[in-house]
Amino acid sequence: METSLGIRSSFSPWIPRSRAASLPPWPRASMCLSRRGGWEHKPVRTLLIDNYDSYTYNIFQELSVVNLVPPVVVRNDEWTWEYARYCLYDEKAFDNIVISPGPGSPTRSADIGICPQILLQCKDVPVLGVCLGHQALGFVHGAQIVHAPEPVHGRLSEIEHSGCRLFSNIPSGRESGFKVVRYHSLVIDPESLPRELIPIAWTSSMPTLSFLESQESCTKHYPLHSPDYTSAIIEGSELSRHSTLEDFKCSKILMGVMHHSWPHYGLQFHPESVATRHGRQIFQNFKKITVDYGLRSSKHHERKVHDCGKSQLFQVSHPSISTKESCNGKPLSDNLMDSKSPLSRNSINDLIDGDKKRLRLEWKKINCLLNQVGGPEKIFCELFSDKCSKNTFWLDSSSTDQNRARFSFMGCKGGRLWKQITFKLSDKSSKTGNDGGYLSIRDCHGVVEKRFLKDGFFDFLDKELQSFQYDKEDYADLPFDFCGGYVGFIGYNLKVECGASSNSHQSTTPDACLFFADNLIVIDHTNGDVYILSIHDHHHLDATSGVKSWLVETERKLLRLISKTTKKSNKQKLPTRTSRQWEANFVVDKSRHQYIKDVQKCLEFIRDGQSYELCLTTQMRRNVDNINSLNLYLKLRERNPAPYAAWLNFAEEDLCICCSSPERFLRLDRNGTLEAKPIKGTIARGRTPEEDEILKLQLQYSEKDQAENLMIVDLLRNDIGRVCEPGSVHVPRLMEVQSYATVHTLGPPIPDSLSSKKQRRFLFYPTHSRYSATAIRYILVPDQESKEANWSRQVQ
């Protein structure tokens, strides 16, 4: 996708470079801090324009906390300007506007939607543009957008600022402690700034810093009210435009601008990032600016702030505005809040039809069985290896080092509630977007029901899960949270149900396949206890006797296994092969020449601002005949034990999945706490303790791996922030090295709290680290450029 550079704005006439260095007509920060008390407790409603970005909901979370009410999130092509103007001025629905970051360039109208109209027409509404929003502010007033000296993603810079109100109570300059995270490839050319825009912030550290470098350099900084800091603020505020450019143009990158008479601000860096210092203070300052500006202006004095999701405003229609109008071919929403403000969603129960299923749980516990029978492999093979392990699953914690994973779950086709659901997107959905697909349901008797799901798989699964009721007392004494239910996989092509417009490649396997597991075994690796569980429908009284029979029979088999393992069996050593032998058996899909060309194309996309990161891969294939899939998995778990391994055998689909991963995608516990454990940055273990320690430090201090890890942490914060309580998302540890059997990795946990049980359905929507509902641009890039589906599905 092309990026036009150095183009004069088509939205405003060209303005000469010279202009007065006047400051805004409202008072400076030092004069206003004590004029009014209690502004922090005033609710402020923000219209948050989402430029299809990966970090919009990090801004959403910050604004929700600072403003005391959640903002309304609208994508940049979701409303017409006429409808936005009606909401802003006729209904007075919003106090200020924040324009999010995003992929692309403000020189392309498709990348910024209605942002130019907002920036040019909303002269009396406070506006804060972040990254792409900052560049758009410069572009619409005539500034040129150019390539930065280098793409900067996930790296930090120290910031020097002018002391304007947006930076009130924030230190400035080198070693001041004000370090920010940058994700951008393009910048505003400071030489092209029109007279309307005043530069207010610059980088003060060259080159950029890695996260750990920024931490180590934070030992020295000025106190906020020290003489050195005060003089730095005064000096910065008195700089004229010409002296600023002359002093800083060679070594400083423009990081902030403000309009000389409108309450419009732009920041090139990301104040919402987990590693940006004083980010929340910036949002608080913007709120203070909004409150003060609104109180002085008659147009804003009676602006209404409505309770989220309850105001009649969000049901309004206007005779001059049809809510069926479209912008870029997309219908407008009838409800301002709709799905973009997750805290305002209507009850999902209203969507559910059919009778509720009341599930009851029966279970038994065998103390300290695991070590007596020789491990989980012996249990699985004893109970499920007959009939070639068909229709079985094993969520396997084959590595339990450092208490990363405590439980393993296994089961097979069992009781009356067991079923397998298989979903395949329709041909039309695969090519043009979400147009439903075909669902097959196979019950425990082998009876198959087929239906077409017009609203898609996630809608079906949501209604299915919401139809279950249970008694908490049945589960209260169990130390784990999964006690039966759906186990399986969700394919990448279901991204069309998450916002992607199409699929370039049609999968040869189902797009989703899951078992409903009603009988299962749970292994507690910490205590060695084994649990036998079975769930049944309370309304079917005859099912109870069948459940008790299965519990008794399974317990008998497990106890009998003790006697079988009194004599240790000689374990046959696995034959080893050299890497060359394996290479000879595999065929690589792409040649070295083509792969290097694809790498160069990725770098071009990143440099032009189309993506933060692209993970390019290729496939290696090998034909196998008469392979024993279970033996393959058993060898895998032995050679590469991992805390989150898995075996899934869908016999009817002729499909087996063997998985070994140190990374847990998401975990939701019974208290509603959601935890993600992203991993970015991996290095092999050393052959000696000394070499191992060196490699560990090499990973920890790798600038590339730190940047990548910071990106994925911010991405996951964004995605889970869509469904969680404002202010609950936090990162207790960052850049933590974790060691596994074969590798060291960088990966912190990110726990938070769901806003309600109704939000749990959205956890099925894959996030940035897998599929990404909001990273559509980053999905389109590989889809459009690759002739085969050999791009990694880990695209930001």
- 13 vs 506: which has the higher pLDDT: 506
Tokens of 676: 């993600």
| Of 338-352, 409-423, 496-510, the least confident | 338-352
CA terminus-to-terminus distance, the chain: 16
Res 680: pLDDT: 78
**Band of the pLDDT at 313, cuts 50, 70, 90?**
very low
| Of 89-93, 541-545, 605-609, 739-743, the least confident | 541-545
Phi then psi for 155, rounded to 5 degrees?
-120, 165
Q: How far apart are CA 264 and CA 128, in angstroms?
A: 6
Q: How far apart are CA 152 and CA 315, in angstroms?
A: 43
Torsion 144-150-156-158 (CA) sign: negative
Tokens of 359: 């599930």
Q: Where in the chain is the domain with CATH 3.60.120.10?
A: 374-564, 599-621+667-785
DSSP string, 217-245: GGG----TTSHHHHHHHHHHHT--HHHHH
Percentage of residues in the chain having pLDDT higher than 90: 44
Q: How far apart are CA 661 and CA 785, in angstroms?
A: 28
Res 216: pLDDT: 58
- Each residue of 475-493: pLDDT tens digit? 889 999 899 999 999 988 8
> In the structure, how many helices (H) and strands (E) does the chain have?
22, 32
Res 666: pLDDT: 81
**Band of the pLDDT at 137, cuts 50, 70, 90?**
very high
Tokens of 89: 């001025």
Residue the block writes with tokens 């060691």: 739
Strand 448-453: give its sheet, edge to edge: 448-453, 437-443, 419-425, 512-517, 485-490
Tokens of 250: 């060679």
**Band of the pLDDT at 367, cuts 50, 70, 90?**
very high
Q: Where in the chain is the domain with CATH 3.40.50.880?
A: 40-308
Give residue 255's region: left, alpha or beta (phi > 0; psi -120 to 50): alpha
Whether the pLDDT of residue 101 is over 60: the answer is yes
The length of the chain, given as a count of residues = 796
Look at strands 145-161 and 330-331 and give their pairing: unpaired
Task: Give, in order, the Cα–Cα distances in Å from 674 to each of 145, 257, 353, 488, 766.
Answer: 40, 38, 28, 20, 14
Tokens of 297: 């202006």
Q: Which CATH architecture has domain 40-308?
A: 3-Layer(aba) Sandwich (3.40)
Task: Identify the bridge partners of residue 536 per DSSP, sorted by sequence position.
Answer: 360
**Band of the pLDDT at 206, cuts 50, 70, 90?**
low
| Of 111-115, 231-235, 259-263, 530-534, the least confident | 231-235
Res 83: pLDDT: 96
Q: Which residues are catalytic?
A: 131, 270, 272
| Cβ neighbours around 454 below 10 Å, total | 12
Q: How far apart are CA 520 and CA 405, in angstroms?
A: 18
| Of 520-524, 586-590, 630-634, the least confident | 586-590
- Write the CB contacts of 638 (distance below 8 Å, at least 6 apart in sequence): 574
Q: How far apart are CA 708 and CA 494, in angstroms?
A: 26
Whether the pLDDT of residue 470 is over 90: the answer is no
Mean pLDDT of 231-254: 44
In the DSSP assignment, the letter for residue 256 is E
User: What number does CATH give the domain 374-564?
Assistant: 3.60.120.10
Q: Helix, strand or coil for residue 93?
A: coil
Q: What's the whole-number average pLDDT of the chain? A: 77
Strand ranges (E), 332-431: 357-366, 392-396, 407-412, 419-425
**Band of the pLDDT at 566, cuts 50, 70, 90?**
low
Whether the pLDDT of residue 217 is over 80: the answer is no
Q: How far apart are CA 237 and CA 161, in angstroms?
A: 8
Res 787: pLDDT: 42
- Each residue of 710-750: pLDDT tens digit? 888 898 899 888 888 888 888 887 778 888 878 888 776 55
Tokens of 552: 């008794």
In the DSSP assignment, the letter for residue 416 is T
Whether the pLDDT of residue 324 is over 90: the answer is no
CB 271 within 8 A of CB 277: no
Task: Give, in order, the Cα–Cα distances in Å from 404 to each of 14, 113, 332, 643, 739.
Answer: 60, 45, 46, 7, 11
Percentage of residues in the chain having pLDDT higher than 70: 71
Task: Identify the bridge partners of residue 746 per DSSP, sorted by sequence position.
Answer: 737
Burial of 378 (0-12, 13-18, 19+ CB in 10 A): middle
Mean pLDDT of 434-439: 87
When the candidates are 3.40.50.450, 3.20.20.150, 3.60.120.10, 3.40.50.970, the CATH number that belongs to 599-621+667-785 is: 3.60.120.10
- Each residue of 271-288: pLDDT tens digit? 999 999 999 999 999 999
**Which helix (H) or strand (E) element contains residue 157?**
strand 145-161
pTM over 0.85: no
Res 14: pLDDT: 26
Whether the pLDDT of residue 3 is over 50: the answer is no
Res 385: pLDDT: 81
CB 398 within 8 A of CB 645: yes
CB 728 within 8 A of CB 753: yes
| Of 59-73, 325-339, 658-672, 684-698, the least confident | 325-339
Mean pLDDT of 116-121: 97
Tokens of 384: 């499920």
**Band of the pLDDT at 517, cuts 50, 70, 90?**
very high
When mean pLDDT is compared over 378-387, 422-431, 619-628, 751-760, the highest value belongs to 378-387
Res 157: pLDDT: 93
Tokens of 476: 């209260």
To the nearest 10 degrees (0 to 180), the angle between helices 376-384 and 542-564 is: 130
Amino acid at the residue 546: G
Q: How far apart are CA 416 and CA 443, in angstroms?
A: 8
Whether the pLDDT of residue 379 is over 90: the answer is yes
Q: How far apart are CA 749 and CA 679, in angstroms?
A: 9
**Band of the pLDDT at 84, cuts 50, 70, 90?**
very high
- Each residue of 673-690: pLDDT tens digit? 888 877 778 888 999 999
Q: How far apart are CA 527 and CA 26, in angstroms?
A: 66
Q: What is the CA radius of gyration of the chain?
A: 29
Res 251: pLDDT: 65
Res 749: pLDDT: 59
**Band of the pLDDT at 752, cuts 50, 70, 90?**
low
Res 568: pLDDT: 53
- Write the CB contacts of 194 (distance below 8 Å, at least 6 apart in sequence): 15, 16, 17, 19, 141, 142, 143
Res 547: pLDDT: 83
| Cβ neighbours around 30 below 10 Å, total | 14
Q: Which long-range contacts (CB under 8 A, 24 or more apart) does 570-579 make?
A: 574/635, 574/638, 574/639
Q: Which long-range contacts (CB under 8 A, 24 or more apart) does 226-233 make?
A: 229/171, 229/172, 229/176, 232/172, 232/173, 232/176, 233/163, 233/172
Res 429: pLDDT: 58
**Which helix (H) or strand (E) element contains residue 677?**
strand 673-677
- Each residue of 187-202: pLDDT tens digit? 999 999 999 999 999 9
Whether the pLDDT of residue 608 is over 60: the answer is yes
Res 310: pLDDT: 30
Tokens of 98: 């924040």
DSSP string, 472-521: GGGTTT-SSS--SEEEEEE-GGGGGGTT----SS--SS-SEEEEEESEEE
Res 628: pLDDT: 87
**Which helix (H) or strand (E) element contains residue 705?**
helix 703-721
